[in-house]
Structure 1
Amino acid sequence: MGAAASPPEFHPAASGHRGSMGAVKNGASADDALRDLLVERQLAGTVRTTRQQSVTYIERTLTGDPNYSFGLSDWQTATFDEVAAATKAVAGDLVTDGEADTGYISPECAIEGMYRHAAVIRPLVRSGEASILLATGHPTGLLEHYAELASALRTAGNRILRPLDDHRLPGATPTHAAGESGIRFVSGVGCAFDNEAILHTHLPDYMQAILAEAAASAQRIDLVIADHGMAGAAIEAGIPTLSIADVNDAALSLAHTRGRHEHILCIEDNFTPAQFTPVTEFILAKATGKPRG
């Protein structure tokens, strides 16, 4: 499953970025101010996603439950210790240590992820020649972020894809009967929906259907920007992907440390979109070279 190969001139994995995780620690004052804001808003630093929840999600990922494995196959050959180490590499915290009823994401890791996303988006908002697919399984927190990215990318001349818009899945998912739920694009961002409601989902089924349709209709996909199973299915299909992952989204962290997925942004994802606005503005400012806000 997947789509036609990316054109040779677009190589997101080769894009420049801030550097190693530790490099941000000695960054400019703008990074220091952003760090303080991330901690203040609990997007990084001490976060609401507890270590105990992260441990539980690792265990569930290793069962292959698609709500936690996100359509990625890495769980089949992974161990608990490997996944815990992957989470530490991405979030800067070993979830088996420390207080179980609190959680932690290194602000430096979060900022590094933001630089990585900006580095991939930068040539796209300047050349405007790519076909890009955005989707979210976390619409109440991240839809506005993706919509802002879609708007900037579209304005630059990129093609924002909408495969299977307003289409119901003919098959059942683990949470919905056949023909009950489907895909709807809102401001250029693919979401799962059921009747009038946009759904929160971890499942890969929706992105798998989108990618199958894109392949069948010969729609090239150069880049996916997504989270949860929307990101996992794209990574599994070998499509360059920018992902947002909370500290408990272990499958994405594992794919990252196994070298399948470079551009991961680890950050608390369950807040009102207004709390996330500085993240969006920072990424777009770094990508465009123009201050925002």
Structure 2
Amino acid sequence: MDPAVDGGAPGAPTREELVRHLVRTRIAGEVDTPRQNNLKHYRQLAAGDAYFKLGLSFERDWEFGDILDVMAKMCGVSPDPRHQWGTDTIDPERTVDALEAAAGLIAGVARDGGNVLVATGHPDALMETYRSLLDAMTGAGAIGLTPAAGFSYGVRRVGDELPTRTLEWHGGVGAVGDGVRLRHSHDPFAMRAMLKELEESDGGGFWPDLVIADHGFAGAAAQAGIPTIGFADCNDPGLFVGAAEGTVAVAVPLDDNVLPSHYRPMTAYILAAAGLA
């Protein structure tokens, strides 16, 4: 087996090899996200739940059927509303198409020495991928931004507690933690704080030319008008609806919570396509 698609050496796979790898590791193809969870989230977004808007404000109201249509077209889930339970799918060809579009944006900002901001709500899974993309971009001349370190906010109430999340930077990649470890997050609040600080500093001279992120980090950046690459699972419809409206530049469909090593061939493919390998 090619070591690039077996999580070993960093050589870039071909498109065909990457598609097979995505399916084998369930980054795409038949994924672990249950169909019933997908449909529940689509309904919650249609009901206007801000948690599932991921920091975005849509141009119109989106009905459940419209959201399902977008997810079928952009992500590759089953378009059949009668399919209520069991597994669902992400089309690996759509994933690679989006990765290639993302590589084009990454190449342009790296070539021009632009500003890039990278953050994740899935630090356990995606931190390594984002750090590799950032390192390659800054190595080519881009400037990595790390604003608003230490910004804190309270998250949704859990029992009688109001947990606090604090923005931390690790190798240039932002994430929120609870004082003990980095945490999964859908919230847009830390990104909004980052952008507020950047807007107010140096006359806005450090405004991002590109954001690479997921969840609310991506949604809030796109809503602010920044070209944004948003990695998103099939149960996170907000970024795909944002892409359908033209607010999110690229929404990359993938299972966003597999082993970090499984993403290495995908990362190598992006960097090769961007001319940064």
- For normalisation by structure 1, the TM-score amounts to 0.83
Following superposition, the deviation at residue 154 of structure 1 comes to 1.1
Deviations 1:54-91 (A, max 9, x none): 10011122333333110112286111111111111211
Instruction: Find out whether 1:195 has 2:195 as its counterpart.
Output: no
Deviations 1:106-160 (A, max 9, x none): 11101101111111112333x2510110000011111110000111111112110
What is residue 137 of structure 1 aligned with on the other side? 121
Q: 5+ residue gaps in structure 2?
A: 1-12
What is residue 73 of structure 1 aligned with on the other side? 57
SS in 1 for 2:208: coil
**Of 118, 138, 148, which residue of structure 2 is paired with 1:154?**
138
| CA spacing shift, 1:131–1:186, aligned 2, 3 Å | same
Instruction: Find out whether 1:173 has 2:160 as its counterpart.
Output: no
Q: 5+ residue gaps in structure 1?
A: 1-28
| CA spacing shift, 1:50–1:75, aligned 2, 3 Å | farther
Deviates more, 1:95-104 or 1:196-205: 95-104
Aligned partners of 1:237 and 1:111: how far apart in 2? 26
| CA spacing shift, 1:142–1:75, aligned 2, 3 Å | farther
**Of 99, 118, 121, which residue of structure 1 is paired with 2:103?**
118
What is residue 213 of structure 2 aligned with on the other side? 226
% identical aligned pairs: 31
The aligned amino acid for 2:171 is: S
Following superposition, the deviation at residue 228 of structure 1 comes to 0.4
What is residue 12 of structure 1 aligned with on the other side? none
Deviates more, 1:80-89 or 1:92-101: 92-101
Aligned pair count? 259
Deviates more, 1:281-290 or 1:70-79: 70-79
Following superposition, the deviation at residue 175 of structure 1 comes to 5.0
Please give the residue correspondences for 1:189-268 in structure 2 after superposition, counting only pairs within 5 Å.
189-217=173-201, 218=204, 219-268=206-255
What is residue 101 of structure 1 aligned with on the other side? 86
Quote the RMSD (CA, aligned, Å): 2.0
Following superposition, the deviation at residue 196 of structure 1 comes to 2.3
| Contact 1:142 1:273 (C-alpha < 8 Å) held by counterparts | yes
What is residue 22 of structure 1 aligned with on the other side? none
| Contact 1:245 1:269 (C-alpha < 8 Å) held by counterparts | yes
Aligned partners of 1:210 and 1:168: how far apart in 2? 9
Deviations 1:35-71 (A, max 9, x none): 1111111111100012211100111223333331101
The aligned amino acid for 1:149 is: L
Aligned partners of 1:160 and 1:201: how far apart in 2? 22
| Contact 1:61 1:75 (C-alpha < 8 Å) held by counterparts | no
The aligned amino acid for 2:156 is: P
- For normalisation by structure 2, the TM-score amounts to 0.87
Aligned partners of 1:180 and 1:254: how far apart in 2? 29
SS in 2 for 1:226: strand
What is residue 39 of structure 2 aligned with on the other side? 55
| CA spacing shift, 1:97–1:276, aligned 2, 3 Å | farther
Instruction: Find out whether 1:45 has 2:32 as its counterpart.
Output: no
| CA spacing shift, 1:261–1:39, aligned 2, 3 Å | same
Following superposition, the deviation at residue 178 of structure 1 comes to 8.1
Aligned partners of 1:84 and 1:100: how far apart in 2? 15
